[in-house]
């Protein structure tokens, strides 16, 4: 019921109000149609699915289908399922005291039928908000039929002095209790095959059977399942007859562009207005965070079948800001800006979010994380500045030769340390005059802190292309020309 009629307390009042009962799939369908006609978004806060997943989900709802969302971890499958509650009526009337959300016009349980027969129009009515019409269960190997469907309750039988032939001794499981609700089973392949078999009739005919009680119990449920395709080989599978009873299988995916990935990260990071005021994160740093995720999804060191969740970028971003914050606190400053050197602080956020392939195991998780950062730097660098081919031409070589020459003429180590204040850091970068000329030529729109980050990016980019050497030192990074490095190795 769309209007707030929660003042209605009895079945008679509800009947006189003109309330029309409808099943949940019709409810979702009709409310979706209303939203589409009004131009109101049904799935707010979901980015990157506007032309792919969301239209398929809308078609499934219009078709009154149960749904299986199939995709790798961190692809917003559960979030999509939870957003379906926005398509439910705000309030739903039930027979007061019912365990299974009995519809007063079509009661299922013995309790509700007896109460309506006895009290008729005086039967008390309760109202359930749509936020309470969502049930979720993570499929694990220890889930039982009793958990999902129900079992005989000997304590109830003893307390009510009922024989085991009386259906009132049944303790309903999660699915019957989710009658007229959205019920989500996450990681469906993890559910044992014999438990999946128990869902057959519920999905198709609405029947349930508990310990010999064959109940005609037409449950009214919108089922949503989620599954990871990798689970089919690692842990289990969805049995074929169950798949056949799921109307629509929708494939999810990772963000396809840096811009979409940034929107997701910005939405999900833990907001802290106080910290955000004092720590500036350059736009290029945000791009680099997302680029690391893109590199991980195609890296030979990472098991790409397991997926790289959006949570990796979110955790990495939070660690990046905390790295800058730690420096600010230690130096007694009130403001600071994220630097490229701060990316060494995100390594713990990367190592725990990746399944390492055999090649990566030989190198170690930390090496893989550092490699991904370096590869991402190279990709961003080549998107902003002329690419350095392996076989260089003279005109390409000339693009960076002034910067390389500057390091050739350097008489002392060039270091960017973690304990530098922002002012000293800026002055250290400003020493490299050819850097200023390069940026003015190819990226003139960057100013201030963005420009400083870009300068450091150029140094890292040249190091990744073997034009400079970059060495990790105790408190930061040291840059030098490759000729000096060779001399150091000969000593």
Q: Residue 170 — pLDDT band, cuts 50, 70, 90?
A: confident
> 435-441 long-range contacts, Cβ below 8 Å, gap at least 24?
435/403, 435/459, 437/402, 438/385, 438/399, 438/400, 438/402, 438/403
Mean pLDDT lowest among 23-37, 149-163, 176-190, 193-207: 149-163
In angstroms, the CA 365 to CA 363 distance is 7
Average pLDDT score over the chain: 87
Instruction: Tell whether the model's pLDDT for residue 235 goes beyond 60.
Output: no
pLDDT of residue 488: 46
b/e per residue 351-377 (b: at least 16 CB within 10 A):
bebbebbeebeeeebeebbbbbbbbbb
Mean pLDDT lowest among 146-150, 242-246, 427-431: 146-150
The pTM assigned to this predicted structure is 0.85
Summarize pLDDT for 256-298 with one digit per residue, the tens: 999 999 999 999 987 777 777 899 999 999 999 999 999 999 9
Cα angle 233-236-242, degrees, rounded to a multiple of 5: 120
pLDDT of residue 191: 85
pLDDT of residue 481: 83
Domain limits, the chain: 11-251, 255-384, 386-491
Give the contacts of 10 (CB within 8 A, at least 6 positions apart).
Answer: 121, 122, 123, 124, 125
Strand 476-481 to 468-473 pairing: antiparallel
CATH hierarchy code of domain 11-251: 3.40.50.300
pLDDT of residue 218: 83
- At the second CATH level, the architecture of 386-491 is Orthogonal Bundle (1.10)
Percentage, residues of the chain above pLDDT 70: 88
Which CATH class, in words, describes the domain spanning 255-384? mainly alpha
pLDDT of residue 37: 94
pLDDT of residue 213: 63
In angstroms, the CA 149 to CA 211 distance is 11
pLDDT of residue 167: 65
Beta bridge partners of 224: 67, 184
pLDDT of residue 238: 84
| Nearest alpha-carbon partner for 83 in 128, 26, 35, 17 | 35
147: which 2 tokens? 């958990």
Summarize pLDDT for 95-128 with one digit per residue, the tens: 999 989 999 999 988 889 999 999 999 999 999 9
Instruction: Tell whether the model's pLDDT for residue 214 goes beyond 70.
Output: no
| Nearest alpha-carbon partner for 269 in 225, 297, 310, 301 | 310
In angstroms, the CA 70 to CA 186 distance is 10
Summarize pLDDT for 366-403 with one digit per residue, the tens: 999 999 999 999 999 999 999 887 655 544 457 888 99
Instruction: Tell whether the model's pLDDT for residue 487 goes beyond 50.
Output: no
Mean local confidence (pLDDT), 227-246:
75
pLDDT of residue 2: 47
**Greater confidence, 141 or 162?**
141
Mean local confidence (pLDDT), 22-47:
93
């Amino acid at each position: 019921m769309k209007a707030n009629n929660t003042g209605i307390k009895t079945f008679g009042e509800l009947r006189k109000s003109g309330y029309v009962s409808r099943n949940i799939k019709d409810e979702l369908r009709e409310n979706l149609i209303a939203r589409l006609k009004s131009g109101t978004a049904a799935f707010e806060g979901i980015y990157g699915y506007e032309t792919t997943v969301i239209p398929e989900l809308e078609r499934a709802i219009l078709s009154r289908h149960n749904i299986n969302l199939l995709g790798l971890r961190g692809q917003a499958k559960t979030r999509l399922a939870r957003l379906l509650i926005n398509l439910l009526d705000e309030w739903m009337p039930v027979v007061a005291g019912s365990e299974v959300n009995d519809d007063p016009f079509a009661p299922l349980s013995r309790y509700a039928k007896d109460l309506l027969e006895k009290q008729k129009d005086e039967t008390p009515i309760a109202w359930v908000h749509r936020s309470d019409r969502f049930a979720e269960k993570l499929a694990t190997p220890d889930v039982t039929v009793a958990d999902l469907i129900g079992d005989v309750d000997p304590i109830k039988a003893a307390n009510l002095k009922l024989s085991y032939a009386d259906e009132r001794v049944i303790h309903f499981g999660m699915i019957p209790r989710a009658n007229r609700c959205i019920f989500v089973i996450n990681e469906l392949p993890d559910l044992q095959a014999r438990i999946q078999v128990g869902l057959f009739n519920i999905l198709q005919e609405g029947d349930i059977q508990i310990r010999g009680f064959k109940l005609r119990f037409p449950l009214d449920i919108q089922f949503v399942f989620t599954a990871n395709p990798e689970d089919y080989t690692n842990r289990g599978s969805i049995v074929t007859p169950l798949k056949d009873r799921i109307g629509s299988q929708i494939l999810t995916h990772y963000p396809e562009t840096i811009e979409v990935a940034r929107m997701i990260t910005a939405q999900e990071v833990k907001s802290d207005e106080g910290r955000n005021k004092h720590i500036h994160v350059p736009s290029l740093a945000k791009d680099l965070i997302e680029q690391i995720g893109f590199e991980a999804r195609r890296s030979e060191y990472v098991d790409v079948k397991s997926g790289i969740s959006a949570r990796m970028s979110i955790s990495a971003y939070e660690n990046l800001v905390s790295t800058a914050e730690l420096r600010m606190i230690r130096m007694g400053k009130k403001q600071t800006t994220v630097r490229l050197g701060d990316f060494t602080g995100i390594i713990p956020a990367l190592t725990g979010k990746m399944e390492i392939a055999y090649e990566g195991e030989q190198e170690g998780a930390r090496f893989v994380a550092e490699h991904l950062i370096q590869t991402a730097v190279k990709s961003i660098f080549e998107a902003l500045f002329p690419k350095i081919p392996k076989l260089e031409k003279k005109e390409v070589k000339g693009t960076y030769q002034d910067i390389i020459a500057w390091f050739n003429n350097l008489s002392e180590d060039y270091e960017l340390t973690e304990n530098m204040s922002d002012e000293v850091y800026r002055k250290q970068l400003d020493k490299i005059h050819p850097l200023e000329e390069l940026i003015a030529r190819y990226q003139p729109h960057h100013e201030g802190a963005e420009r400083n980050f870009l300068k450091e990016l150029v140094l890292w980019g040249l190091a990744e292309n073997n034009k400079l050497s970059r060495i990790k030192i105790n408190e930061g990074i040291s840059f030098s020309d490759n000729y000096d490095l060779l001399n150091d190795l000969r000593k």
